[in-house]
Copies of this chain bind each other. A is one copy, B any other.
C-alpha cells in the first residue's frame, strides 16, 4: 500500500445522469463505477477536488487492508472486486459481517479505531480518502453526507436481515438466503448472460464464517440442494441456480 497513484479521470470518463434532475456530468470511473458511489452526488465542477482527495489503492486477494481495533485513518470506497468485513474473537472464531461490493463505503467510524477488519477476497480496487479529507468533503458537499446516510441505512437493513438469519434460521435456510442474496446483488462478474449462474468469489470457509456455520455444514447443505435439483455446483466457484422459487421458499422459512 505504498505506491498508490492519484485517482484521476480515466481516459474515457463516463457521462452519468445525476439523480432525477436530468443533469449529466463526467465522472471519475475509478470512484464512480456505480450510481451508488461517492462521486455521483457531486457536481462536475467539484470533481477535480474529489479526484485530488482520493487515492486509488489496489489490494491483492487475501490481503488485509483494515485491521480491527487499529486507528481509523482512512475511508474507502470500493470500485471493483469484493472485500470481506469481519470481527474476530481472541480464540480465532470469526464472523464475516458482510461482503463489500463495488460502490460500498468502508471505515465510516465515529470512534477513532476501526470496529472491524477488512480483507480482499479477490483483487480489490478502492478509492482511499484520509479521514481529514473526508471530513472536509463532508463539510463542503452536504449531498455527500446524505448519500452516506442513505448507504448506512441500507447497511442497517442488511444487518438486521443478517441478525434474523444468524439468530433464527436453520442451515438450509441460511444457505438458501445467501445464494439468493448473491444472485440479487447483481452477481459480481457473470459475463456470459447465463441467467442464475453465479460466480462466488469467496471460499466455503468465508461463506461459513458469514452464515455462522462450519465449512462442512455449508458443503453438505450445497450437496443436499444439488441432490434436490435446486442448484448445480460447478467447478471452482461457480454455482447455478436451478429452482429459485424453491430456494426462496426455503430462505423465507416456509419450508
Contact = CB atoms under 8 A, between A and B. Distances in A.
Contact of A152 (B94, B97, B153): B153
Interface stretch (A5-13, A56-64, A155-163): A155-163
Contact of A89 (B150, B209, B253): B253
B160 A116 contact: yes
A50 to B, nearest CB: 19
A87 B156 contact: no
Main secondary structure of the interface of A (DSSP, over half): helix
A164 B108 contact: no
A87 B164 contact: yes
A6 B94 CA distance: 48
Contact of A163 (B142, B145, B162): B162
A94 B253 CA distance: 11
Q: Which of A109, A146, A153 has the most CB of B within 10 A?
A: A153
A168 interface: yes
B115 A167 contact: no
A180 B153 CA distance: 27
Interface string A162-180: 1110111100000000000
A209 B150 CA distance: 28
A81 interface: no
Interface string A94-109: 1101000000000011
A168 B90 contact: no
A171 to B, nearest CB: 12
A93 interface: yes
B254 A168 contact: no
Interface of A: 85, 87, 89-91, 93-95, 97, 108-111, 115-116, 138, 142, 145-146, 148-150, 152-157, 159-164, 166-169, 209, 211-212, 252-254
Given A87-B163, A148-B149, 10 more contacts: A87-B160, A89-B252, A90-B253, A91-B254, A97-B164, A109-B157, A110-B150, A110-B153, A110-B154, A142-B145
30 contacts: A87-B160, A87-B163, A89-B164, A90-B253, A90-B254, A91-B253, A91-B254, A93-B168, A94-B168, A95-B164, A97-B163, A108-B156, A109-B153, A110-B153, A110-B157, A115-B157, A115-B160, A138-B146, A142-B142, A145-B145, A145-B146, A149-B149, A149-B152, A152-B153, A155-B156, A156-B156, A159-B160, A162-B163, A163-B163, A166-B167
